[in-house]
Structure 1
Amino acid sequence: MPQTRETRAGEASMGDWSVMTMMDGSMMGWFWLWPVLLLIGLALLGYLIYRPVQDRHGGAQEDPSSAHRILDERYARGEIDEQEYRSRRTDLN
């Protein structure tokens, strides 16, 4: 059965109507939610990967050389005497 121009025009308008219904209907109100959820998910994934890596490398913990540095600074400022300095230095090593 050959399609007439009227039939094709009717089908096109029916197709346009269904697309317009989705765009103007309730679907459009929630369309912004998926990109936001994707960004939140990526940020959470990045944090969950970063945290164990940071903990493995010491994170906020100070390295042992900083204890030596602090001890040297206290001795240089005169807060501790030589005997206490040597004693603590031996304990750190």
Structure 2
Amino acid sequence: MGNWIANNVSTTFELSSAIVTAADSNGSLKAMLPTRVYAGQYATVGLSWSALAPQQRYFGALQFTDGSGKVAGTSSVSIDTADPLPVAYLSKPAPARRAQ
């Protein structure tokens, strides 16, 4: 598959698609949510997705509901276990502190 860009140079890319259903269950997706949110304001959600097979790509969706169970919003999550964080970031030593 190819694409022509503005300067008439060809480029290649990979096109992927995913269909997520409520029956899908790969690994363990956990979400940490605030106890209270307010309309028109931002809120932070923490996510962790563990027990995923290496060298795979995963796509998931989270649905946020209001007090009555009505879906108020949906967010997508994409994980690529074949592309981990660079080792330099994982093993970077903390800066040395000066003695006072």
More helix by share: 1
More strand by share: 2
TM-score by structure 1 length? Answer: 0.21
Which one has more relative contact order, counting CA pairs under 8 Å at least 6 apart? 2
Rg comparison, structure with higher value: 1
